[in-house]
Structure 1
């Protein structure tokens, strides 16, 4: 059981800095951050999270090795989702040649089952670039919001939303551009949906996400 001090679980680094778990100290990701001008503070007591950012986001990094090794990463993700941190929880997942065959299942688990935001990366270099963008964007209009919304528009998520009655490709795109996560879409009220897709479709979408399953009806 994690009993880390709340002050560490919710520690916010100053602008231009990242708090990283000690295990990342000698990684290529940290070296890339340094080259990009991001200063790193190391800490052993971040709980499950790997990184804390100045915009009150935290990151859990799922590598191709984590994915290929089995389902252990799922337990870690559940602990991450259930942590007592007040940060916005993001998940970076390596989508590589080796992990590609598992990626759709990982994405479904992270986005649909846990309601977390997933950002695919090709490796630690791309991850460091993404983290640098989020750190550099602090104090301006949050660039992560638009990036996360656009990344939800991948074929898997788009296809899932199009399975909702009354939602075609155009309405699915509009919904995913408006809501920053599938979790938000599932919990949207009819009046929140109506101005995006119209009254009839809004009622269908809301009923679809809130009706009992076929087995229980």
Structure 2
């Protein structure tokens, strides 16, 4: 059985809910003027705030994005404490977006294992900030669609966002496309359940060949 990192607390962290006006994304001040922010402006409304110690972007008071740059991934594991604190916030669902390039590709398996298997969070790789901007804009648009369809979901729109992100994460497994990802998540609703599934259980959903690929993917990551 895998043990999750222990609970940590720090009075300087913005552990309380961040107020995000409807239709806006709240971004850390450090992203002002960046390529990422410039690519998003005009497509979504950005509000910049200083003192956001946990997340880089808040899509709502309940959902956020932690952005790990190419340089941060190469520099070491300093990002891990922040990820653990986001995971431990009961009111906050975090999505981890990581710059995966030729320079830091060798470091990617380690953060993938830590985020997906150890923390049970969603991880999405991007090639650059332009690609990341498109991803965030898409998240905001999907979240807005859910809210428009049912205004009562405004306080719980992280559900739809979480489902979309989980599908993308499962699609990173070799041999798994969008259809197979959806089928797998119907039977195994979380990354933890999927990673602990036996080959026999997986075969019932995707057949023997893909089942073995999925099982190998998770056992090798451990």
Alignment check: 8 A CA contact 2:95 2:123 kept? yes
Q: 1:31 to 1:52 in 2, by over 3 A?
A: same
SS at match of 2:20: coil
1:14 matched to which residue of 2?
21
2:131 matched to which residue of 1?
126
**Offset at 1:13?**
1.7
1:109 matched to which residue of 2?
114
Alignment check: 8 A CA contact 1:58 1:90 kept? yes
- What stretches of structure 2 of length at least 5 have no aligned partner? 1-9, 147-159, 206-222
Q: How does 1:152-163 map to 2 (within 5 A)?
A: 152-155=170-173
**Offset at 1:92?**
0.4
- What stretches of structure 1 of length at least 5 have no aligned partner? 159-169, 189-193, 199-217
Q: TM-score, normalised by structure 1?
A: 0.69
Q: 1:45 to 1:54 in 2, by over 3 A?
A: same
Rounded to whole Å, the distance in 1 between the matches of 2:39 and 2:175 is 31
2:31 matched to which residue of 1?
24
Alignment check: 8 A CA contact 2:13 2:54 kept? no
Q: 1:89 to 1:197 in 2, by over 3 A?
A: same
SS at match of 1:35: coil
Q: How does 1:1-217 map to 2 (within 5 A)?
A: 1-4=10-13, 9-36=16-43, 38-54=44-60, 56-82=62-88, 84=89, 86-141=91-146, 142=160, 145-155=163-173, 174-176=183-185, 178-179=187-188, 181-185=190-194, 197=204
Count of aligned residue pairs for this structure pair: 181
**Offset at 1:150?**
3.4
**Offset at 1:76?**
2.7
**Offset at 1:197?**
4.1
**Offset at 1:112?**
0.1
Rounded to whole Å, the distance in 2 between the matches of 1:132 and 1:94 is 17
**Offset at 1:15?**
3.0
